[in-house]
Every structure is written in C-alpha cells, then in structure tokens.
Structure 1
Amino acid sequence: MSTLEPDRAASAERTPSPDRLGTAVSVVIPCYSDERWSSILDAVVSVQKQLTPAEKIVVAVDHNPALSARLREALPEISVVDNAAGIRGASATRNAGAADTTTPLIAFLDDDEVALPEWLGTLIAPFSDPDVVGTGGRYEPIWETEKPSWFPDVFAWVIGGHYEGMPETVSRVRNVWAGNMAVRAAEFRAVGGFLASFGKLAASSQPEDTSLCISMHRYSGGHWMYVPEAVIHHAVPRERATFAFFVRRCYSEGHGKLLLRANLPTQDDDETLSEERLYLIRVLPRGVLHELRDTSRAFSRVCAMLAGVTAAAVGASVAIGQRVFRLGKERRETSHKVL
C-alpha cells in the first residue's frame, strides 16, 4: 500500500451534501456460478448478522438466470439483480448491483468470503472524514487444504490474503481490494464505477479495483483508507494451493498492472505503479530475510519468491510487447488512411 497526497484544490471546491455524508450503506455481493451456492449463502448470512446492519443487501448475478431464480426463491428478503445484457465479469456485475442501491455508501463483498460481525461498522467508520472516498479491509485466507510449505507469506496477495508489508493500523493508501471495499456512491457513479472491460473473468485477472481507486482519487481529490480491523475470511480452494496457480497469478499481476498503466494515462506515472515499486524495493527484501530464519523451508520459499517475481516480469514484458504491436498497427492504419 502507498500514500498519496490529494488534490487540495479539488477537495476545497467540493461541497459535500448531507446525502453524500450519510452513513446508510448497502452491500453488493457479485456471483456467477451455482457451484458456489453454499458460499453465496454464507456470504449473505454474514452480512445479515452484522452488528451494523446494511440498509439493503444486493446479490448481483453474472449471466446466470437459473441462479438468479434460485436465489430469489431461497432469499426473498434480499434484492437479486442480473448482469444479463452487459459485459461478463466481476466489474460489470458489481456495477449492476450498485445500480440497485440508493444509499450514500456502497460496500462490496465477494461470493467466496464471509464477513466477521464487526466488519461493516468498522469498514464505514472512516467516512466520518469528508475527504475519504473509499475504504478497504483485511483479508484472512481460509485454506481448504494445508498451506503449502513452499508458499511465502509475502506473496499472500496471490490467493487474496493479507500479506507482510501491509499496514497493521488504519492507514491512508493508494488502493484497496474490491472484495472488501466501501465507497461513496456519488464519486463511484461519477467515474462510471468499475471499468467493465477491465477485471476478472475466467483466466483473466486484471486490477479493476486499483483502477477504480485511482480514478476516484483523481476525480474527487479524496483518499482511501485501509482498515485492518474490517476483517473478512476468504476461501482458498484446493486448486489455488498449487505452484502452477501461484505462477499464473503472478504472471497475471505483472500483465494486468502494465495494462492498468496504459488504461490510466497520467502526467504522474509514479502514481499508477508506486505501490508495486515499494513492494519490490522494500517488502520483498524483508520477506526474503524473514524466510531465511526458517532454515527448513527457506530454500523452497525463496525459490517460490524468485519464480513469482520472474513470472510477473514476464507478464509485464508481454503486456508491453502487445501494446507496442497495437500502437504500431494503429499508426500504420492511420498512415494508410491519410495516403
């Protein structure tokens, strides 16, 4: 995570309305597959048991009318909406759910997560500051199988878990993760919500949450807060406990972050990838030193770290190559039109 200075001029010009500063919150849970039926129900129940109640719970279903019908029958007390006409994927599905809310705050929880009872109240507490546009909380991974002995803690982001180097107290950050997030609805809608063409779908894993956080910061001059006490439990299925998944996810991270930079052109390139630079320069070296303390596992974990960094670098290189090829093709097509 990294710290950003807000645009003070934009912040000063913004005149908060009473509605914008309200504390009423809706919770949106995106889903797509009947295979996650039990985990979807667990996610909904965890929101219903919050000490700070949500005004509305919305389950948004991605191109699965049978699942929508099943949810409406099983959970008549909540709102079920469909992402049927739009682009497939988590981004568009979250947007469909958010469109069904009217509260000044919107929280997002994924369908493979369970929120602890204090989650929602803790997550929205920082909104008492009018300059806060969004918040995010802590992910605690729940492994279906035993955590692999080779898995380095500093790479817990691979499976959606809190990792070494993240803040341990409430802190201002560049971005948070979409599965444990709350936003001001006005600013969220003003930037168009999550970028529907950018995000997680099938094997694709692009940082739609980072894109949203940066866009909302630029639009409003406001900032994001990380709230480690806002805890969710995130399921890690057996298939994600493999070295093959680890490498693929690292590759996708490198590839996706370079695409993010292309999608968010700015005069300040340091902003887009600032957190990643700090991770490479500060967090990873500390992670290596930490792993070396356990001599029985040090070699395998350090090798996994090297493999992860290499895979991310390859992914970034591929993204650069694809962008150069695309720009060259566009220039050639433009020159042909001129001729």
Structure 2
Amino acid sequence: MTQQPTTVSVVVCAYTEDRWDDLVASVESVRGLPEAPEVLLVVDHNDGLLARSRDRWSDVVVAANESRQGLSGARNTGVALASGDIVAFLDDDASADPAWLTHLLGPFADPRVAGVGGHATPVWPEGGNTLYPAELLWIVGCSHRGLPTRLSDVRNVIGCSMAFRRDAVLSVGGFNLDTGRVGTIPLGGEETDLCIRIRQADPSARIVLEPRADVRHHVTAGRVTWAYLRRRSFYEGVSKAALSRQLGASDSLSSESAYLRRDIPRAALRELRSVGRGGAGRLAALVTAVVATVAGYALGSLRRASLAPVDPSAGQVLPARGSARPASVGPTDGAP
C-alpha cells in the first residue's frame, strides 16, 4: 500500500453527446472542490464529443480513450493519465455533493484501505419512480436498500461514486477490458471484478463503503420501464456468470447469496402487505428482476461467455508518470 495520500484525481468517463447537460453538471460539480482535485474527462471513441469537451473546458484534462471501446478501457486511460495518489471516479450522469471528496478520502487514512465507495441518490425523471422498490435501485445504478448505512467493509463499491489508490489499481492490471458496459449494452461488474482482484492479490487490503460520500445520479425515463428492468437484470446475470468463472463463485456470488436470502424475501413480504397501495407492481418488479437475473446467469453459464484473464505483465494500463509499475459481471454495483 502507499503512504497517506496527498493528491487526488477525479476521472469522468463519457461516450455520448446525448448526456451533454448531465456531463456539464458532473464536471462542474468537482471543479474547484476544496481538495483541489485534478479533473480528467475521458471520451470513449466519440470525436464530436471530444472536440466539444475541449472547447468547453480549458482547465480540465480532456483525453480520448486510448484503449478498447468501453467503460473499462476509458477508466484505464484515466488511471494512466492521473497524477493523483488517489483516483476517484464519477459518472457522466452523476453530480457530486460538495462534501463528496472529503468523505470519500477520509478512510484512506488507514493504509490498508485500497478502495472507498460512496452513495448514489437517484434523481428521477418527470413522473418519478413507480416501478422500483428500494431493493432494486442497483438496476438504475443507485444505492439500494440493504447496503450499510455507516462506514463498513464491503466486497465491492458502486461505480458512479468510488475512489482507489492508484498503485492498487495498477498492481492488478487495471479494470478488466472484458467486463463492463460498452455503449448502451447494460453489462456490469467491472468494479466488482477490480475489488475482488485487489483483495485476492492482497488479503489485508480493505474495500470500504462511506455512505456520506453522496452523488446525485440522474435516471433517464428509458430506465424506468419494464423493458429496461428485464434487460438490465438479464445482463447482470450474464455478467455474474462470467465473473464466477474468472474469479471463483465464492467471491463473485457471496453478496448476491445474502441479498437473495435476506433482502428480497423481506421486500416481497412488505410489498405483499401493501398490494392495494402500489405493492402489486413493485412485487412484480422484484419477481421479474430475480427471474431475469437467474435466466441471464444460466445462459451465461451454458454459453461459457468468458472473461479473458487480466495479466498485469501485459500492460493494459500504461502509467503516464514515468513509473515502472505494470498496469495492464443479485447486484454488482454497490453490493456489500
């Protein structure tokens, strides 16, 4: 592990101009924070967005994804370019609370802490949310009921609000290019994959959740639909099947097993008791999410959709500071 961090870089990854207003809000929310972070915007294979972003910000490092298209490759580009000891990540459709970095950086005072996750509060589109019970908010990339409500050790962090020691990320080869979202395909698990590999490489390393480190995550109208619920849940299962083969079922499914045994039955019973007050729809959503996730996991297992092993010596992430260090899918985002 590194010594007490003194500098921090915030990486925002973007791939489409359709989210321009959200992207502006995201970047502006971290510019000028008291921690004086270096802000890097990595554009994922979109020349128009790259040019527009460079025109918009002169004091932000705007760079193109130099790796394979996808969120993992964009994040690896950000890690390679970052000058901070700590690299924080904020989604292009999320805005940080003014105290976000303060709370996110606090746990790094413990040298064993390799990664810290924050909280994500949904900002619903016009009409609000009539579909998701709180236990399913992971489907829209937000913190769900069942997560710790105070500083706690967790298996993995939530992708839209997280930070890692840069050398811990580089030491395990960075984010796996064969996991995670590419464009609008709702695969996931790149954060889970990274956190598990960090812990497997160094069993003394800690991954913690600091719920006070909050971001406001904008949810589009297209995600508050039955179609998106089914699709995202299905691909979650596909992602988990791949992770299980790559990293072992014990590490990859531990949180999901507890979530299915504890949180889902409690939620189903609660919604069953409130059938006349919208509970029927939320109960149907719970059942649909579980069935779709299990179906995705079964199909992913049968097809043996593989994750290529991450070989740190292959240099998927190339440090940009003259360092000689090598650098090379229940709910994954934010699961304890």
Q: Are positions 1:87 and 2:63 aligned together?
A: no
- CA drift at 1:33: 1.0
Question: Which contiguous aligned blocks of 4+ residues in structure 1 show a shift greater than 6 angstroms?
Answer: none
1:38-187 alignment, distance < 5 Å: 38-54=21-37, 56-84=38-66, 86-187=67-168
Task: Please state if 1:306 is matched with 2:287.
Answer: yes
Choose from 231, 234, 238 the match for 2:217. Answer: 234
Matched to 2:78, the amino acid is G
Q: CA deviation at 1:178?
A: 1.8
Confirm or deny: 8 A CA contact 2:70 2:180 kept in the other structure. Answer: yes
TM-score, length-scaled by structure 2 = 0.87
Q: Is the counterpart of residue 214 in structure 1 residue 196 in structure 2?
A: yes
Q: Which residue of 2 aligns with 1:257?
A: 240
Q: How many residues align?
A: 304
Please give the root-mean-square deviation of Cα atoms over the aligned residues, in Å: 1.7
The offset of 1:75, in angstroms, is: 0.3
Partner of 1:29: 12
Q: Secondary structure at the match of 1:77?
A: coil
Structure 1 residues not aligned, in runs of 5+: 1-15, 327-339
| Gap runs ≥5 in structure 2 | 308-336
Identity within the alignment, %:
34
Query: 1: CA distance between counterparts of 2:208 and 2:243?
Result: 21
State how far apart, in whole Å, the 2-side matches of 1:151 and 1:206 are.
19
Matched residue, 2:331:
none
Q: Contact (CA 8 Å) 2:230, 2:289: kept in 1 or not?
A: yes
1:316 corresponding residue in structure 2 = 297
CA contact (8 A) 1:91 1:199 kept: yes
- TM-score, normalising length: structure 1: 0.86
SS in 1 for 2:168: helix
What are the Cα deviations for residues 243-295 of structure 1, in whole angstroms up to 9, with x where unaligned? 11011111111111111111224xxx322210000000001111123323433
Contact kept, 8 Å, 2:2 with 2:165, in 1: the verdict is no
How many Å separate the matches in 1 of 2:131 and 2:299? Answer: 27
Larger radius of gyration: 1
Q: 2:272 aligned with 1:292, yes or no?
A: yes
Q: Deviations over 1:134-153 (max 9, x none)?
A: 00000101011323434222
- Following the alignment from structure 1 to structure 2, what is the Cα–Cα distance between the partners of residues 75 and 116? 21
Shift of 1:219: 1.5
Q: Is the aligned partner of 1:279 residue 2:262?
A: no
Q: Deviation at 1:298?
A: 1.8
